[in-house]
Every structure is written in structure tokens, then in C-alpha cells.
Structure 1
Amino acid sequence: MMKKQAVIYELLQENNGFVTLNQVKESGVSYYTVKKMIGEGKLEKDEPGLYRLPKVYIDEYYSIQHRYPKGVYSLETALWLHGLSLTIPFEPMMSFPYGTNTKLIKEYGIKPIILRSNYDEGIVEVMPIKGQAVNVYSVERTLAECLRSIYKIDVQIIAPAFKMYARQNKINYSQLFKYAKLFKVERKIQSYLEVLD
């Protein structure tokens, strides 16, 4: 048993103090060992299949991503994760592919957006906490998508986001206009960029 626990401790060390059940199984250790370690107070369970050392903090966004791996953080939540918003999203927004059942997702407190198309377009990883990567749409896709009138994103959130983006001195015009065209918001993007010039 001690050898099996040593394997888990090694995995925990490699993963900044947390481990998934899949990683445990891949290492050849059974769930019984994990259960025993939880019972002894050596491990704590955050989500089904996600475990951590008692003193390790698991970011809420990472925890949600683990629960809903197909979800991609989008719109206001993506702005927040990219550092382009000072408003912490009350209800995390995630996009899912068409056909996803949203009942449990909504019950969990997530605002799901179901996409018939372009779900896979522009997914990047960000790390709110070291070693805890989450899927989020790229900055340029997020800025363009937030301008779609269907989402009714407040101008008080969008305007500062464009200003913060411009302050980073990394405006990617080709990507911005690619997504502006995709979401049919070219005029809106143009007017925001003109204000920044």
C-alpha cells in the first residue's frame, strides 16, 4: 500500500499538488488507494475524479473545466480570464457544441452557450493558477463575439476591454477582422478601433 501511495505522491508532485483519477489509473494504481488516502486525510476530493493535497488550492475555473471538459470559457468570462475585465463574472459563461444537454450545466451555475458552428474556432489555453490550464476563446475571438447583439453584452464591459487590449500593444488586426467577419460585426469592430487610434 505504501508503494502505491508513493506513486500517487509522485503524481501530486508532478502536478502542483493535484491529480485526476485518469492519471492515477494510467499509473497502474487503483481507486481503492485514492479512497484510502481520502479516508486518512492525505487527499481531498474537489470534483468527481479530481483530488488534491489538503493545503493545495484548486481554482474554481479549473474545477469547472474538469467537470465539463467540452466547455470553452467565452464572452465576459473569457474577457476576465484574459485580464481584459475588472468585473468578476457572477455566472461563468461557457460555450458547448450543438447537441449538448444543458440541464445539469445550468443547475451547476454555469451559463451555457450552445453553438451550431465555430465551436472549435480559436480555442486557447490560459492558466489562472500554475499548472491549472483551462480552455478559453482567444482574445480576438472574444472581443468580436462580445459585439454580437444576440449576447447583449454591456458597452461598459466591452469598451474598457478594447482599451485594455490596446494598452497591451499587441493588437492583432488580422485575427480581429477574421473574427469580425465570422460574426458579422465588422462595422462595430471598426468603430471601436477608430476610437483607440
Structure 2
Amino acid sequence: MGYESKILKLFKNGYLTTKDVTENNIPRTYLTKLIKENKIERVSRGVYIKKNVLVDEFMVLQSKSKYAIYSNATALYLHGLSNRIPIKYDITVKSGYKGSLQKEDNVTLFYTKRELLELGVIDYKLDSGNIIRVYDLDKTICDIIKNKKKVDAEIFNKAIREYFYSKKKNTLKLYEYAKKMNIYNKVRDIFEVLG
């Protein structure tokens, strides 16, 4: 089997990264060859799609950094607590992050301490079949409370109300996250008003 065939078999849900190619000891020049043959397309640095596959912006943005985690209003949308399709994607990265996501016009970056970055992260399967990293529902609620001034008031109020009445909520986890994020009193005050 030739390198081109091997590359085409490495695609997952229509996507491939340069890392996938190098880990399989395939010279990168074959990626260029497949692009010239119009079999694949480069959608961003190190990310390729098969021809005739729709670009999944969630996947493309997340592939730009191993530290990128969807959060805030974008996570609310993914969890069904907002019906506003993201125009700008909210992504949390570790403090001190310097990378290509900073140059993206359609991204709002939030920064957090390294030790809190992985708190509440889950793998989320998109309709496309791609898996992205996003904060779970309870961590997302903590994030929007922490970043209340940066979140649209209508989205904030709807999300808090829907979370409060949701069967999916885990208040033990919510308060555990709030303590670690030093926002316990803010979270308690908001939910005491509703209770």
C-alpha cells in the first residue's frame, strides 16, 4: 500500500492532522501531493479534510491548541442551555497561553490557572461524529458566574434559570467547582435567590 492510500485511511470523521501522519512514519510531502491532486484540503495549520467534507469549525479551532477547551456561552449552546449559535467561539486556555487562537477573529479567549484548566472537562461528541473538549454543565455554570460581565445578560439569566430546574444539574459538583474557583459565595448567592 502506498503512502497516499495510508494517509487516506488515517482520516477520522473526514479529518486528519499532521501529527497523525508523522506518528505513522509517513513523509509529510505526501500531504502536499494529495492537496495538489485535489483529494484533500488544508483547513488550517496541521489540519486537513477530505474533499467534499464540510468544515467543522469546532474541530478546526480545537486542533490549534491542545489546551483549548470550549467554555462559557459556547459550552451553554453545546449543553442546550442557549439556542444562540455561536458567532464567536468562547475557548478557555491556560494563563500565559501564546498561540494561533489569539489571532482568530471568531474566538474569545478566557484564561485560567494551569491547575484549573482540566477541572470539569468532558469529551463531547458533535453531530459530525467529531469529539471536542468542553466543560461539563456544572463547570460551565461556574464559568458564566465568574465571567458574568462578559456574558450577554439574556443568555446568563436563561442559563441560570434552566440549570436550576434541570434534571442534569449536579449541585454537589457545582459547589465543589465553585470552591476551587474561589467563587463559592457568588454561586451560593445566585442560587439562594432562585431557591
Q: TM-score range by the shorter chain?
A: 0.7 to 0.9
Structure 1 contact 59–128 (Cα < 8 Å) conserved: no
* Aligned twin of 2:151: 153
Contact persistence 1:123–1:138 (CA under 8 A): yes
1:46 aligns with 2:50: no
Distance 1:190 1:98, change over 3 A: closer
Output the CA distance in 1 between the equivalents of 2:13 and 2:85.
25
TM-score by length of structure 1 reads 0.84
The alpha carbon displacement at 1:152 in A equals 3.7
Match of 1:4 in 2: 3
For 1:188 and 1:41, locate their aligned partners in 2 and report how far apart those are by CA, in whole Å: 54
Cα 1:152/1:42, change in 2 over 3 Å: closer
Q: CA deviation at 1:17?
A: 2.0
Paired residues of 1:122 and 1:137 also in contact (CA < 8 A): yes
- What is the aligned counterpart of 2:89 among 71, 89, 92? 92
Alignment of 1:21-100 (within 5 A): 21-100=18-97
Counterpart CA distance in 1 for 2:156 and 2:29 is 49
Aligned length: 193
Query: In 1, distance between residues paired with 2:32 and 2:127?
Result: 26
CA distance in 2, matches of 1:151, 1:172: 24
**Worse-matched range after superposition: 180-189 or 68-77:** 180-189
CA drift of 1:146 comes to 0.8
Gaps of 5+ in 1: none
Cα pair 2:144 2:151 within 8 Å, conserved? yes
Q: Which position in structure 1 is the counterpart of 2:138?
A: 140
Decide which of 92, 104, 111 is 1:108's aligned counterpart.
104
Other structure's SS at 1:129 match: coil
Distance in 2 (CA, whole Å) between partners of 1:52 and 1:38 is 10
**Residue 175 (structure 2) pairs with residue 177 (structure 1):** yes
| Partner Cα distance (2:150, 2:173) in 1 | 22
Partner Cα distance (2:125, 2:77) in 1: 12
Match 1:124 to one of 115, 122, 125: 122
Distance 1:29 1:149 in 2: 44
Give distance in 2, aligned partners of 1:89 and 1:97: 22
Unaligned regions of 5+ residues in structure 2, if any? none
Shift of 1:195: 6.6
Distance 2:147 2:73 in 1: 14
Q: CA deviation at 1:97?
A: 1.2
Q: How high is the TM-score relative to the length of structure 2?
A: 0.84
RMSD, aligned CA: 2.4
Identity of aligned residues (%): 27
User: For the residues of structure 1 that align with 2:173 and 2:108, how far apart are their CA atoms?
Assistant: 26
> Please, which moves more after superposition, 55-64 or 144-153?
144-153
Structure 2 Cα separation of the partners of residues 66 and 170 of structure 1: 29
Q: Is contact 1:106-1:112 (8 Å) kept?
A: yes
Q: Taking structure 1 as reference, are residues 148 and 17 closer, same or farther at Cα in structure 2, changes over 3 Å only?
A: closer
Amino acid of the structure 1 residue aligned with 2:8: Y
Relative to structure 1, the CA distance from residue 166 to residue 57 in structure 2 (aligned partners, 3 Å threshold; closer, same or farther) is farther
